[in-house]
Amino acid sequence: MNDSIRRRSPVAFVVLLCLLTIPFWLFGAAPLGLPVALPVGALMAFCPAVVAVALIGWGEGWVGVRRLLAGSIDPRGVRPWTWFLPIVLLVPAATAVAAGVLALSGRPQTVPAAAFLLVAVPVVGGLGFLAAVGEEAGWTGYLQDPLQERWGELGAGVVIGAVWATWHLPGWYLQLDRTAAWTAGMWVSTVALRVLAVRLRNASGGSVFAAVLFHVVVNLCSLLFPDQYTPPLMASILVVLAVLTRVVTGAPAASGPRAPRPHSAGPAS
C-alpha cells in the first residue's frame, strides 16, 4: 500500500460524512417524484463522494482526485472481463431465490409490468449509476483500502457495511416509514452486500467501478422488485451468498491484510 492511502483517515471520513448528511436526515422526507418511491433524502448518496474528494484533494492533490473519479467510472479496471458476470448476476439471482421462497410460502407478489420496466430501468439505472458513483467513490475509493490494510478483507467489509447500513437508518425507518423488522433486515442485508462488494472488487482487479456496477444492480433489484426484495428474507439469502462467494473465489484470510493492486483507484492517466 502506498503512503498516500496509508495516511487516509477513516475516522475523519465518517465524521465529516455524518456532519454533511445531517440536513438530509432531518429534512429529507419529501418525495423526489421519480417512478420509484424515494425521498429527497436519497440525494445524500452523493455525500460520500464529496467527502472523499475533499479529503483526497487535501492530502493527495488533484492527481489523487482525478484517479479516484476516473477509477469510479472506467470499466476497464475490471479484469478479467468475466468478473462482470457475478457482479451483475449475483443480486438478481438472490432476488429470484427470494421470489421462489415467497411463492412456495403462498405469499402474493406483484411483478412489474414490462411497459413499466422499459421506462423505469433506464431511468433508475441512469440515476442509480450517478448515485452509486457518489457512494462508492467514498466507501470503496476512499475507505476500503486503509481499513483493509488494518483488518483484512472481511474486517473491512463488515466495518464499512455496518457504517453504511447505520448511515441509512434514518432514511429507512423515518423517511420511508418502514417497520422495525424491515429496517433490521435491510441493515443485515446491507452489511452482507458490502462484504460481497469488497470481495468482488478485490477479485476483479481492484477497480472501484466493480463496486459501482454492483451497487447499481442492487438498487435496480431493490427498487423495481420490492415484493421480491423483502429485507428479512434477503438478509438470510445474502449472508449465505456472501459466505459462498468468499469460499468459491478463494478470499484471503480475514485476519490478514491484503494489499490492493496497483490500479485499485483507477487509471492515473
User: Residue 79 gets which letter from DSSP?
Assistant: S
Residue 30: burial class (beta carbons within 10 Å; 0-12, 13-18, 19+): exposed
240 belongs to a structural domain: yes
What residue has cell string 496509508?
Answer: 6
Nearest-CA neighbor of 19 among 53, 42, 1, 44? 44
Does residue 267 lie within any of the structural domains? no
Q: Which residue has the higher pLDDT, 222 or 267?
A: 222
pLDDT single digits (tens) 178-235: 888 999 999 999 999 999 999 999 999 999 999 999 999 999 999 899 999 999 999 9
Q: How far is CA 228 from the centre of its chain?
A: 19
Distance CA 103, CA 1 (A): 48
**264 in any annotated domain:** no
Give the tens place of pLDDT for each residue, 80-107: 999 999 999 999 999 999 999 999 999 9
| 257 located within any domain | no
Predicted local confidence at residue 196, as pLDDT: 98
pLDDT of residue 265: 37
Query: How far, in Å, CA of 234 to CA of 192, rounded?
Result: 10
The verdict on residue 219 lying in a domain is yes
Whether 256 is covered by a domain: the verdict is no
The span from the CA of 44 to the CA of 229, in Å, is: 22
pLDDT: which is higher, 162 or 113: 162
The pLDDT confidence band at residue 42, using thresholds 50, 70 and 90, is confident
pLDDT at 28: 81
Tell me what the mean pLDDT of segment 75-79 comes to: 95
With respect to residue 129, please indicate whether it lies within any of the assigned structural domains: yes
- pLDDT for the residue 102: 95
Range of the domain at 176: 3-248
Residue 135 lies in a domain: yes
- Cβ within 8 Å of residue 5, ≥6 positions away: 145, 146, 149, 260
What average pLDDT does the structure give for the chain? 89
Number of domains forming the structure of the chain: 1
Range among 14-18, 115-119, 173-177 rated most confident: 14-18
Does pLDDT of 151 surpass 70?
A: yes
Q: Span 54-61, mean pLDDT?
A: 94
Phi-psi region of 33 (alpha: psi -120 to 50; beta: other; left: phi over 0): left
Who has greater pLDDT, 252 or 229? 229
Q: Please, what is the Cα angle at 40 between 37 and 44, to 5 degrees? A: 115
In this predicted structure, which of 51-55, 168-172, 195-199, 252-256 has the lowest mean pLDDT?
252-256
The label of the residue with cell 456472501 reads 242
Measured CA to CA, the distance from residue 44 to residue 263 in angstroms comes to 28
